[in-house]
Amino acid sequence: MYIIVVGGGKVGYYLTLALLGEGHEVLVLEKDAKRCELIAEQLGSVCVRGDGCEARTLADVGTERADMFIAVTDEDEDNLVACQVAKHKFKVPRTIARINNPKNEALFKKLGIDVTVSSTNLILEHIEEEVPTHPLVHLLTLRGGALEIVEVRIPSNSSVVGKRMKEIVFPPESVICLMIGGRGAQVPTGDTILEAEAQVIAVTRPEAEGALRAALTE
C-alpha cells in the first residue's frame, strides 16, 4: 500500500518506521526542515518538507494514488483539514486522524474522517486496566448502559476476605459471576470463600457500582 503520514513528530516517526517494516511504501510530510533531515537520515528517502493541508503539496506527493492517509500532528484542526483535503480532493479511500482532545472524536466522525485515534483515551483505558489502585474496572457496558460488567480486585485488608459469598450483602441487581483467585477461575456459589487479591467479575447497574465496590473492598 502507499500510505501518506502527515506530521513527522514522535508519533509520525515511529508510525512510519513500523509501516516501512511491514513493507508499505510510506511518505512523511513534515513542515520543519530539521525534523525532515533527521527522518531522511534515519529512514531514507521517505520524507518531503511541506504542509500536509496544502492541496498543491499533496498533489506533488501523489496523494491521488495513496491507499491510506494518516494525519498525526499535535494540532487537531490540522489533522482534520489534512484528512478532509485528502478525502474530498484526492479521494483517498481511508483517512485516519489523530485526536489530541478526546472531545473531538464525535465531531471528526461526523465530518467524514474514517477513523480517529485518541492517544488520551488510549492512555486512560490503559490506566483503568493497569493501575492496581483503581479497584473497579469497566469491562463492558450492556444494552444501552442499563447493565455493565465490571472487575473488582479484593484488597487484602478488605473485611470480606475469608467470608462466604452468602454472608455478604450486595446491592440489588448485582451478581458475582466469576472469581479468579489462587485456585484459578471459579463460578462462585453461596459457600465460596472470598480470597484476598482475587479478581471478581460482576454484573451490576451503573448506579449500584459504588455500593458494589464498597461491599467488596471496604
Partner 1 sequence: MNVVIMGCGRVGAQLAALLDEGGHKVAVLDTEPYSFRRLPSSFNGTALLGDGTDEDSLKKVGIEEADAFVAVTQGDNRNVMAAQIAKHVFNVPKVVCRIYDPLREELYHTLGLETISPTTIGAQMLRDKVIG
Partner 2 sequence: MIYSKLLVPVRGRKVDDDIVKSACVLARRAKGVVYIVHVIQVSRTLPLDAEVTPETRSGEDMLANAEKIADVMDCQAETEILQAREVGPAIVDEAVERGVDMIIMGLDYKKRFGEFDMGDTVPYVLRNAPCRVLLWRGPMEGEEE
Quick check: 162 binds partner 2 (CB under 8 A)? no
Contact 108, 97 (CB under 8 A): yes
**Residue number with CB closer to partner 1 (65 or 103):** 103
Quick check: 38 binds partner 2 (CB under 8 A)? no
Which of partner 1, partner 2, none does residue 85 bind (CB under 5 to 8 Å by kind)?
Answer: partner 1
Quick check: 172 binds partner 2 (CB under 8 A)? no
Quick check: 43 binds partner 2 (CB under 8 A)? no
Quick check: 92 binds partner 2 (CB under 8 A)? no
Give SS3 for 115. strand
Contact 215, 165 (CB under 8 A): no
Q: Which stretch binds partner 2 (CB under 8 A): 61-69, 95-103, 137-145, 176-184?
A: 61-69
Query: Rounded to whole angstroms, how far apart are CA atoms 96 and 37?
Result: 25
Member of 18, 55, 65, 75 binding partner 2 (CB under 8 A): 65
Quick check: 55 binds partner 1 (CB under 8 A)? yes
Query: Rounded to whole angstroms, how far apart are CA atoms 119 and 72?
Result: 10
Member of 27, 113, 136, 215 binding partner 2 (CB under 8 A): 27
Residue 190's Cβ-count burial label (10 Å; 0-12, 13-18, 19+) is exposed
Query: Rounded to whole angstroms, how far apart are CA atoms 98 and 116?
Result: 6
60-89 residues in contact with partner 1 (CB under 8 A) are 75-78, 80-81, 84-85, 88-89
Quick check: 91 binds partner 1 (CB under 8 A)? no
> What helix, strand, coil percent values describe the chain, rounded to 5?
40, 30, 35
Taking the complex as a whole, how short is the minimal distance between the CB of residue 38 and partner 1, in angstroms? 25
Quick check: 95 binds partner 1 (CB under 8 A)? no
List 138's β-bridge partners, or say none.
150
Which of partner 2, partner 1, none does residue 48 bind (CB under 5 to 8 Å by kind)?
Answer: partner 2
Q: Which grid coordinates are listed for 155? A: 484488597
Can you give the binding site for partner 1, defined by CB under 8 A? 53-56, 75-78, 80-81, 84-85, 88-89, 101, 103-104, 107, 110-111
Residue ranges in contact with partner 2 by CB under 8 A: 2, 25, 27, 40, 44-46, 48, 59-62, 64-65
